[in-house]
A and B are shown apart, each in its own frame.
Chain A
Amino acid sequence: MITLNNGKHGKVYKIVGFDKNFDDISRRFLELGFTRGQNVKIVSTSLQKKVFLVQIRGYLLSVRASLLSRVQVE
């Protein structure tokens, strides 16, 4: 199990859950469809890999990498 910010470009991961420090950002991820068992694909990253472009539930979302450390995937 890894956190999504450590994921590789072009790979698909399955969401396992969120880290212990569940906060407003984690809640926003849930609202956006990052629910347990859902597949998420890393479509692209910015030049310094500080922002990820991810595909979830059939749409694209750009997210700061540090925020994705809340999302645990496998």
Chain B
Amino acid sequence: MKEVLLVGNPNSGKTTLFNSLTRSNEHVGNWHGVTVDTKDKSFFVGKEEFCLVDTPGLYSLTPLSFEEAVAVQKIEENKDKKIINICDQNNLQRNLYLTLCLLEKGFDVVLAINQIDKKPIFKVDTKKLAETLGIDVVLIDAEKKVGIDKLKERLLLQKKSPKPPDYVKTIKAEQIQDIQTLSNLRYDYIDKILGMCAVRTHAVYGQSKLDKIFLNKWLAFPVFLLVLAGIFYLTFFSFGAFLSDSLSKLLGLVTTPILNFIENSFGQNFVYDLFNVAIFGGVGTVLSFLPQVVLLFFFLSILEDSGYMSRIAFIFEDILGRIGLSGKSVYTLLMGFGCSTSAIMTSRNMDDKNAKIKTAILCPYMSCSAKIPIYTVIGGAFFGAKNILVIMGLYILGVVVAISISKILDITLLKSKKQSFILEFPPYRTTSLKRVGKILWKNVCEFLIRVGSVMVSMNIIIWLLSSFSFNFSYVSQGGGTSMLETIGRFLAPIFSPLGFNNWAIVSSLLAGLVAKEVVVSSIAMFNGIDSSATKLLSASILLPTSVVYFATKASVISFLVYCLLYTPCMASISMLLQEVGKKWTFISVAIQLVTAYVVAFVVYQICFACEIFGFWSVFAIILTFLCVFIAFLSVFLKIKRKKLCPHCDICKKNCKLK
């Protein structure tokens, strides 16, 4: 099987072409650095089979970041393979730079010019360009699959004898080492061939009138917050909540007859319990949140496709630079709201190693979509309509904790080195209906597979542990102490200072280490609530007779905070291991567990005090403490400043400026 490499600048449409050629549904976006690793899949041209390899974006064959190094390594592995060099028609001048780098080294290149927009900036005479460069040139539209057959035909042709660009013949040996001269020669050559083979409009690639609002110094941040608030409102309330309720009712209609059949056939024994509690009860509850999870991914994808992500990175670079991150971290951190595991993987597009580790470590603090059922069910029970404020508060708390941890890491273990924030501005684009369909389908499939595999098996294990004792006798309905109860009761005192000294709550947190959705499904299982009743489940945790019972609002908030901050899932740990290594994964998990415990403890104590003394009294006490702390800090800094050198404020003695 012949190998074909897909190579091109970032955001030129490589993965879109990969999807078109191999009929895949890999993640794409209108943003720099979406692809961070190589991926391959086979496809046929006639009867011949090829293996297509998609690579991360490149500007030249000299890598600067981790993902660029991966791509260059793949290119240089074997010089005989065919390379499809995809170029964005709107930014042809810069895209052809990489083409020349490939041609100089004698690679077998087919140039695919991707016509992303209807009115491209460059109009190209492909025939003339092919003659000038001495390679096959095909005009394609990777999204609409235009020109794909022509491109496939070119792959069947035998390798042409490599024809290096004209300037290579005239170049002197010493000039090859001088990158400044070489770059000038390459760009001069590009200007020359584009003058002959293309007509250029006066439009600037990426420029838009919308930027007067989105990049405005005073409007940029309010607009960003408004966009986020809109996404959360539509996902968790209004539309998302309506869809969840509808699905919940539908699931009830489906599962009730099945349960009735099992009850009639086997009676109410452990077989009935297995289906009612472990499978339909636990998994069904989480399944009803499918619409909210899919909606969140859908909105994140629209953000990615729109071109707004680069603008967000631009406006956040000032702030994130202060805590040792890069504006590029915004993409990874926003992805964290969807899924921590996939977000950690995207941290690879950082240029600085320390910034990469920091970004990966911070991802789990962005509240992922798997936590939505916990907030909705547990928070909804106590706060009703005001739960939107609690959920927004949790999201904000996650961000604040992430910022604090980043700052602490930046001044201790992971000091930021040189940060090379260079980011291209793509034009604003709208998402096609076809792509919307693909995103929805992909996320529905992933969620269902996850529910069908990890969660069913986990729920059955938890059900077994909670239904059988250590001597394997069936202990359902209070007939003895189950294995899980024994473990939970052993660990529960540790969580007593956090306000939830309940073995079942502690057991659900333990189960949540596998996947966060399991927290709610195990609570549903402990309380014996079936799939059709998320509202009933919410009501059950208020009843003192329930296995899982929260006595006060303070303990609920503390529980939600703990769920927000402790280790998200096993998958995220394995991804951290892959991206940052054993040492930093261990440190990261330790930070997560300690932070979750400490923050939940502080939040519980404050909320508990509010319940006893009233909100304003506690507010006044905290304010007084803060004022005293600030006063002490300023006095301390003043004394420390006096000890410093009067000439430069940095050194203490032997000042050069003396």
* Distance, CA A4 to CA B619, complexed state (A): 49
Given contacts A27-B62, A31-B183, A53-B215, contact A62 B314 (CB under 8 A): yes
Q: Chain A, 8-27, contact with B by CB distance < 8 Å: what is the 0/1 string?
A: 00000000011000101101
Among A27, A36, A60: residue with most chain B CB under 10 A: A60
Decide if A25 touches B420 in the complex (CB within 8 Å): yes
Given contacts A33-B94, A58-B93, contact A51 B317 (CB under 8 A): yes
Kindly provide the distance from the CB of B387 to the nearest chain A CB, expressed in whole angstroms: 34
Decide if B425 touches A67 in the complex (CB within 8 Å): no
Given contacts A59-B425, A61-B423, contact A50 B317 (CB under 8 A): yes
Contact check: which of B93, B180, B310 meets A18 at CB < 8 Å? Answer: B180
Decide if B183 touches A30 in the complex (CB within 8 Å): yes
A45 closest partner in B (C-beta):
B217
* Distance, CA A60 to CA B217, complexed state (A): 18
Kindly provide the distance from the CB of B255 to the nearest chain A CB, expressed in whole angstroms: 52
Q: How many residues of B are in contact with the other chain, CB < 8 A? A: 39
B contact face: mostly helix, strand, loop, or mixed: mixed
Decide if A62 touches B313 in the complex (CB within 8 Å): yes
Contact check: which of A38, A51, A55 meets B421 at CB < 8 Å? Answer: A51
Contact check: which of A35, A43, A64 meets B184 at CB < 8 Å? Answer: A35
* Distance, CA A22 to CA B62, complexed state (A): 15
B207 on interface, CB distance cutoff 8 Å: yes
Given contacts A57-B93, A61-B422, A62-B310, contact A51 B318 (CB under 8 A): yes
By a CB distance below 8 angstroms, the chain B residues around A17 are 180
Kindly provide the distance from the CB of A2 to the nearest chain B CB, expressed in whole angstroms: 19
B121 on interface, CB distance cutoff 8 Å: yes
By a CB distance below 8 angstroms, the chain B residues around A33 are 93-94, 97, 187
B205 on interface, CB distance cutoff 8 Å: yes
By a CB distance below 8 angstroms, the chain B residues around A57 are 93-94
By a CB distance below 8 angstroms, the chain B residues around A43 are 207
Decide if A31 touches B59 in the complex (CB within 8 Å): yes
* Distance, CA A47 to CA B314, complexed state (A): 10
Kindly provide the distance from the CB of A64 to the nearest chain B CB, expressed in whole angstroms: 4
By a CB distance below 8 angstroms, the chain B residues around A38 are 187
Decide if A31 touches B60 in the complex (CB within 8 Å): yes
* Distance, CA A51 to CA B315, complexed state (A): 8
Kindly provide the distance from the CB of B95 to the nearest chain A CB, expressed in whole angstroms: 10
* Distance, CA A30 to CA B64, complexed state (A): 13
By a CB distance below 8 angstroms, the chain A residues around B452 are none
Q: Chain A, 51-74, contact with B by CB distance < 8 Å: what is the 0/1 string?
A: 101010111111110010000000
* Distance, CA A60 to CA B71, complexed state (A): 24
Q: How many residues of A are in contact with the other chain, CB < 8 A? A: 33
* Distance, CA A61 to CA B423, complexed state (A): 6
B20 on interface, CB distance cutoff 8 Å: no
B446 on interface, CB distance cutoff 8 Å: no
By a CB distance below 8 angstroms, the chain B residues around A53 are 215, 314, 425
Decide if A36 touches B315 in the complex (CB within 8 Å): no
Decide if A32 touches B94 in the complex (CB within 8 Å): yes
By a CB distance below 8 angstroms, the chain A residues around B321 are 50, 64
Decide if B180 touches A63 in the complex (CB within 8 Å): no
* Distance, CA A45 to CA B101, complexed state (A): 32
A46 on interface, CB distance cutoff 8 Å: yes
Given contacts A48-B318, A60-B204, contact A67 B421 (CB under 8 A): yes
B191 closest partner in A (C-beta):
A57
Within B185-238, the residues touching A (CB, 8 Å) are 187, 200, 203-207, 211, 215, 217
B327 on interface, CB distance cutoff 8 Å: yes
Q: Chain B, 148-188, contact with A by CB distance < 8 Å: what is the 0/1 string?
A: 00000000000000000000000000000001100110010
B486 on interface, CB distance cutoff 8 Å: no
Kindly provide the distance from the CB of B100 to the nearest chain A CB, expressed in whole angstroms: 11
A44 on interface, CB distance cutoff 8 Å: yes
Contact check: which of A35, A36, A48, A67 meets B422 at CB < 8 Å? Answer: A67
A68 closest partner in B (C-beta):
B422
By a CB distance below 8 angstroms, the chain A residues around B179 are 27, 30
Contact check: which of B94, B184, B205, B327 meets A36 at CB < 8 Å? Answer: B184
B605 on interface, CB distance cutoff 8 Å: no
By a CB distance below 8 angstroms, the chain A residues around B313 are 62
By a CB distance below 8 angstroms, the chain A residues around B203 are 58
Decide if B420 touches A61 in the complex (CB within 8 Å): no
* Distance, CA A43 to CA B321, complexed state (A): 21
* Distance, CA A35 to CA B188, complexed state (A): 10
Decide if A62 touches B420 in the complex (CB within 8 Å): no
By a CB distance below 8 angstroms, the chain B residues around A64 are 317, 321, 419-422
* Distance, CA A16 to CA B209, complexed state (A): 31
Decide if B204 touches A55 in the complex (CB within 8 Å): yes
Contact check: which of A18, A22, A36, A59 meets B204 at CB < 8 Å? Answer: A59
* Distance, CA A59 to CA B426, complexed state (A): 9
Kindly provide the distance from the CB of B220 to the nearest chain A CB, expressed in whole angstroms: 8
B649 on interface, CB distance cutoff 8 Å: no
Decide if A46 touches B314 in the complex (CB within 8 Å): yes
Decide if B97 touches A31 in the complex (CB within 8 Å): yes
Contact check: which of A28, A46, A62 meets B425 at CB < 8 Å? Answer: A62
7 nearest A-B pairs in the assembled complex, by CB-CB distance: A60-B425, A30-B183, A59-B205, A60-B206, A64-B421, A51-B317, A31-B59
A-B residue pairs in contact (CB < 8 Å), sample of 14: A25-B422, A27-B64, A28-B59, A32-B59, A53-B314, A57-B94, A58-B91, A58-B200, A59-B91, A59-B204, A62-B423, A63-B423, A64-B422, A67-B420
